[in-house]
Amino acid sequence: IDEKWFNITKKTLRYYTAPDEQQPIRTCKNKNYIPRIMFLTALARPRFDSSGNCTFDGRIGCFPYVTYVAAKRSSRNCLAGTIEMKPILSIDKSVMRDFMIGQVLPTIHAKWPREDIGKIIYIQQDNA
């Protein structure tokens, strides 16, 4: 399991569009204050059968640290009550524990290869 911060957009963007196509709209307040989002990624060792075919590729999931909240007020971008995705800026022990119990462990249980059921699964984290 590892975590990584990503910027949502770049400071300068270049779009190549068709003559009848509109350019995408940037939704951050200022290009100098681009919001960041953290992702938690879980991987495992891939499994192969005796003939070399991949039976389990090892990809478990990629989980963004976000919350879904309803907009408090109406604006020109959205109406009040619209569900918005907000990044969690402070990742502490309680947030990490909620993500592990609520998202990572059920996904591991669903995607883990059936021939390895009953064996001990060790979750290795870095010292973040």
Does some domain include residue 45? yes
Does some domain include residue 41? yes
Model pLDDT, residue 25: 77
CA distances from 127 to 1, 2, 3, 119 (A): 11, 10, 10, 25
Find out whether 64 and 82 touch, Cβ atoms under 8 Å.
no
Residue 33 domain boundaries: 2-116
Does some domain include residue 121? no
**Beta strands of 25-88 (E only): which ranges?**
36-43, 47-48, 54-56, 59-64, 66-70, 83-87
Q: How many domains does the chain have?
A: 1
Does some domain include residue 78? yes
Model pLDDT, residue 77: 77
Model pLDDT, residue 128: 60
DSSP state of 91: -
Does some domain include residue 18? yes
Model pLDDT, residue 62: 94
Does some domain include residue 122? no
Does some domain include residue 128? no
Residue 118, token pair as written in the block: 């009953």
Q: For each successive 10 residues of the chain (128 residues), what is the average pLDDT?
A: 87 87 79 86 91 91 93 88 89 90 93 87 82
Does some domain include residue 86? yes
